[in-house]
């Protein structure tokens, strides 16, 4: 049975880069769980819950496929 984890955000406190991670299954791909910031390559990434705005953006993304 496929189990879909709750989405989360990853953000970089150094440069402000952030992205929403929303795996489609329990198989989390490398790009869903980066170890380094894609922008400044810092390894200080933090995880956090989605804001309401993030959830809306995610719904739009899923609607557009
Ligand atoms: Zn960064």
The answer to whether residue 20 sits within a structural domain is yes
Q: Residues 2-29: pLDDT tens digits?
A: 677 788 999 999 999 999 888 877 777 7
The answer to whether residue 57 sits within a structural domain is yes
The answer to whether residue 54 sits within a structural domain is yes
The answer to whether residue 51 sits within a structural domain is yes
Q: How many domains does the chain divide into? A: 1
The answer to whether residue 45 sits within a structural domain is yes
pLDDT in the model for residue 2: 64
- Whether residue 30 has pLDDT greater than 80: no
The answer to whether residue 16 sits within a structural domain is yes
State which residues form the domain around 28.
8-64
Distance 35 CA to ligand 1 centre (A): 11
Distance 63 CA to ligand 1 centre (A): 29
pLDDT in the model for residue 16: 96
Q: Is the dihedral of CA 35, 4, 19, 39 positive or negative?
A: positive
- Whether residue 48 has pLDDT greater than 90: yes
Read off the pLDDT of each residue in 39-54 and give the average, rounded to a whole number.
94
In terms of pTM, does the model score above 0.85? no
């Amino acid at each position: 049975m496929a189990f879909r984890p709750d989405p989360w955000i990853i953000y970089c406190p150094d440069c402000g880069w952030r992205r929403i991670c929303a795996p489609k299954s329990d198989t989390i791909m490398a790009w869903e769980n980066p170890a380094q910031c894609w922008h400044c390559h810092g390894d200080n990434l933090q995880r956090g819950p989605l804001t309401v705005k993030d959830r809306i953006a995610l719904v739009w993304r899923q609607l557009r496929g």
